[in-house]
Structure 1
Amino acid sequence: MSTPPPPAPAGPAAAASQPSNPTITITPLPPFQPDLYQRAWSSTPHPTLPLLATAHAKSVTVFSLATFTKHSALTGGHARSVRTAAWQPPRGTQSKRLGLVTGSFDATAGLWSFDGDKDRDGNGGLEREVRMGDRDTEDGDGGEEEREWEFNLVLEGHENEVKSLAFSPGGQYLATSSRDKSVWIWEDVSNPTGDNDGEDDDEWETVAVLSEHDGDVKAVAWCPTHLANARAGVGRKHYSVEVLASASYDDTVRIWREDADGEWVCVAVLEGHGGTVWGLQWEGKERDDGRFPRLMTFSADGTIKVWTLRVDEEETEEGQQEGDPFRSGFGGMPNTMRRSLREEWDCTAVLPKVHTRDVYSVSWSADTGLVASTGSDGVVAVYAEKESAPEDVSMASSGAENGGAGPKSTWKVLGTVSHAHGPYEVNHITWCKRFDPGAERKGKEEMLVTTGDDGVVRPWQVRIA
């Protein structure tokens, strides 16, 4: 991401372009306030609460999705810029607190908790969550004092900046990736029950250091657990449920699983991009055919690719012994004798070429299946997967060339927006639930949020006829 000219105060919202398909409109909404006036790297919505965490400089600003204004801020925990942030899934008594983890250019990851009394109204409702960071207490100078986040724990081990981090769906594992070409997997070994006050100490241990990439590891992402046992998972009992993917400057993506011996191993290397793989996104919407979730990758080569796990149909047959790590696909051979555990993944789609430069970010909606992308050219694009006609399915490659991955898919561009952040690069895009007054279905309707080098966090209304 090139260095932009000095940021200027953000002007009026960028105008939406004429969509390439009349069934969709992409319209800018008022930006989040205050403007950050400095490069912002990413914005991450909370999975259930109306909160959005934006990483920038040495801090994270949390915005309210109900008001598009600042809710609270995380400051003082890192010596250098915060590159990324992720919301911590609740575990045990942690369900009573708001948790966030940050990854920084200072080579560390930090775990934070919010000090607001989340249960003071007896139900911890969404509206209370938005209000609990309000400036409702006065300081000695007659000004307003914000409620603060507490910096609980620092995770050290990487030699260079932490570029990405992600919690496993259940919150047991945290994966961090770095410029040092490694992926670290940390396990939460805190007391899951704790005391009634919910103030048990965080305790994490390193369970794996994965060093097979030949370049900086740009991003990590865990497969959604509720989909990981779909069809292909039935016959893969020699693995744990958790599946991790990593993207690198070495132009590849690697798939990692924990084997029956408790070792994290690379089970697949996805090759095909002609440049740095900036990131990846797992499919969050269950597939109609019940197959394993697909993986979407995006790159400096300007392309977005979809990868599908090749399934040995024999693995899905009934008769597998549930939980038996020595069976499935290997004829019941003992763990020490079976051949190397490997998976085959096929590129089953390449989305239409829209971007003229690096694709920095892609978001795949778990609700609608729509995909949004953005990048160095400042363009925002929205895509939909086309429904295949019967003759298209019969003609699709599903034999030797495509293995058991199923038919290849095709995608179409629904709409684009040029200069989404004026002359600045757009670093991140995400689908996000709407809770603002303009939403027709609060908490269910989706919008897009983009984050750019201009320090503006901009929401976009997406209307589909």
Structure 2
Amino acid sequence: MPTLELLAELKGHADRVWLVSWNPKRLELASCSGDKTVRVWAPRNSQPAATGEETAPLQDWQCVHILDGAHERTVRSVAYSPSARAIATASFDASTGIWEQEEENGDYECTATLEGHENEVKSVAWSSDGALLATCSRDKSVWIWEVGQDGEDFECLSVLQEHTQDVKMVAWHPKEELLISASYDDTIRVWREDDDDWFCASILTGHQSTVWAVDFDRDGTHIVSGSDDKTLKIWRREAPSASEQSSVFVPQRREPMWKCVDTASGQHERCIYSVSWSKVHGYIASASADNSVRIFKMLASTRQVTDDPSEETVSLDLSCTQSDAHGTADVNAAIWCPLAEHGHLLATAGDDGIVRIWRFVE
């Protein structure tokens, strides 16, 4: 049976850890906390081998940078840019910080502060090419920012205000300039640009309570979502049928539909705070207020539908469960490492102020 093997505990934050973000270029991660700081962690004495793989022991990590002084309240979200040259931080002080790493000493400096949200900024995410940044807030809005060529100038392109409640998370499609947002209004919204105008292309309904977390699969054809209703849902992107085209949310644009193809109930006993779909091996990790982390595999099969061609059906198969992943503390995040050579690593963050590194063993 697959298992999660605990490799390391990263201690240093003075308050709960909300989220972690893996460096997309090297074995390193950043964590954000209620203590108003971000800590950057890396294996001690890590050196690239001839193959490009890190050679340091995966059990021995150290804090190599502390990003502080830019935020007055909790840092709720953190994200490396695709180039790994910058880190974005979202804070309850209603601002988003952009941190650039200095070439001389490797330290991080806050080079830009993005303001405009009226309340706490809950999430920040870079587009796949790093040209756009998205933020969302308790003020019910999603903001799209264009990144300047120097990486320091940011222009707000659009303010999207169609959610009716607090927006918990934003996530970009892995290949396209397509954004999804999850909200306290129980919905997921899909946004994209058309003639310099960002619009809501689809509204995904079905959850019965707050949607806390969303993520795409490697190809961007499926979305996984986790909710306060204790369920996980899988949504599949597909072209609308002829009968559906007349009722598509924006029919004149003939947008693809996102259809819920599976709902996993009874897997968690409390709210699901985090979902992460590995772009390396395809497993899904979920983290919950029930103190557990669960690993799922999406199974797909085809069936013949009456008067229709074969249709793919999917289901989530539970691979393993890590109970009390952070003792008695809520698990706020479980995020897969995106590096091909380290895709089996999973980082979790908890209310106990600790980041844990796990190895997934199939």
Residue 364 of structure 1 corresponds to 277
The structure with more strand, counted as a fraction of residues: 2
For normalisation by structure 2, the TM-score amounts to 0.88
1:14-413 mapped onto 2 (5 Å cutoff): 22=1, 24-32=2-10, 34-56=11-33, 57-65=35-43, 66=56, 67-90=60-83, 98-117=85-104, 148-190=107-149, 200=150, 202-225=152-175, 241-259=176-194, 261-284=195-218, 286=219, 293-312=221-240, 339=252, 341-351=254-264, 353-388=266-301, 393-395=302-304, 399=308, 406-413=311-318
Unaligned 5+ runs, structure 2: 44-55
Shift of 1:353: 2.8
Shift of 1:312: 4.8
* Matched-pair contact (CA < 8 Å) for 1:396–1:408: no
CA distance in 1, matches of 2:333, 2:202: 27
CA distance in 2, matches of 1:211, 1:347: 24
SS in 2 for 1:106: coil
Shift of 1:416: 0.5
Residue 194 of structure 1 corresponds to none
For normalisation by structure 1, the TM-score amounts to 0.69
Distance 1:101 1:395, change over 3 A: same
Cα deviation digits, residues 275-315 of structure 1 (max 9, x gap):
0000100111x4xxxxx61111110000010111222589x
SS in 2 for 1:278: strand
CA distance in 2, matches of 1:183, 1:84: 15
Residue 447 of structure 1 corresponds to 345
* Matched-pair contact (CA < 8 Å) for 1:309–1:405: no
Residue 426 of structure 1 corresponds to 331
CA distance in 2, matches of 1:112, 1:424: 30
Amino acid at match of 1:109: T
Amino acid at match of 2:235: W
Distance 1:396 1:414, change over 3 A: farther
CA distance in 2, matches of 1:405, 1:220: 33
CA distance in 1, matches of 2:31, 2:306: 42
Distance 1:300 1:49, change over 3 A: same
* Matched-pair contact (CA < 8 Å) for 2:278–2:343: no
Distance 1:202 1:248, change over 3 A: same
CA distance in 2, matches of 1:150, 1:345: 40
* Matched-pair contact (CA < 8 Å) for 1:352–1:412: no
Cα deviation digits, residues 235-289 of structure 1 (max 9, x gap):
xxxxxx4111000000000001111x211010100000010000100111x4xxx
CA distance in 2, matches of 1:398, 1:280: 34
CA distance in 2, matches of 1:55, 1:397: 51
SS in 2 for 1:157: coil
* Matched-pair contact (CA < 8 Å) for 1:174–1:186: yes
Unaligned 5+ runs, structure 1: 1-21, 91-96, 118-131, 134-147, 191-199, 226-240, 287-291, 315-328, 331-337, 435-441
* Matched-pair contact (CA < 8 Å) for 1:309–1:346: yes
Cα deviation digits, residues 60-86 of structure 1 (max 9, x gap):
000004541101110111111111111
Identity over aligned pairs, percent: 38
Amino acid at match of 2:172: W
Cα deviation digits, residues 369-408 of structure 1 (max 9, x gap):
11111110001111112253xxxx2256995xxxx99422
Larger Rg: 1
SS in 2 for 1:443: helix
Amino acid at match of 2:312: P
Shift of 1:411: 1.9
Cα deviation digits, residues 108-135 of structure 1 (max 9, x gap):
0011111244xxxxxxxxxxxxxx76xx
